[in-house]
Amino acid sequence: MKEYIDEYIKYLEEKIKNKQFDNELQEDLLIKIEFFNKERIIHLIITLFYALFTVLFICNIRYSVMYLIFALFMICFLLPYIVHYFRLEARVQYLYKLYDKRKNSD
């Protein structure tokens, strides 16, 4: 997903630079933003569940050492999910700015 959105941003920046950003491309951008927003929501839900289960495992470490192993395992997945989510968030917000730039130039 990261590569796809980065390529799309480069494509849009090139179109804006060459003043080829027309209404059709603007509509395409709105559709892509909707798709990326759905992706963002899915990753937010996954990240929140990983965080919840990580906290639950950490809270239960006092009952069994196995919870420590599960907590460490969950942290190994949680950190990349957090990084991925915030990168996705930043890119979608950048798409909003590109859309606003085009909208305000009309």
**Residue-wise pLDDT tens digits, 50-90:** 999 999 999 999 999 899 999 999 999 999 999 999 999 99
Q: Where are the domains of the chain?
A: 23-105
Tokens of 46: 């996954």
pLDDT at 49 over 90: yes
- What local confidence, expressed as pLDDT, does residue 105 receive? 63
Which helix (H) or strand (E) segment holds residue 73: the answer is helix 66-105
Nearest to 56 by CA among 78, 29, 89, 25: 78
Q: How confident is the model at residue 22 (pLDDT cuts 50, 70, 90)?
A: confident
How many whole angstroms separate alpha carbon 18 and alpha carbon 58? 53
Average pLDDT, the chain: 90
Angle between helices 66-105 and 2-17 (to 10 degrees): 10
- What local confidence, expressed as pLDDT, does residue 15 receive? 87
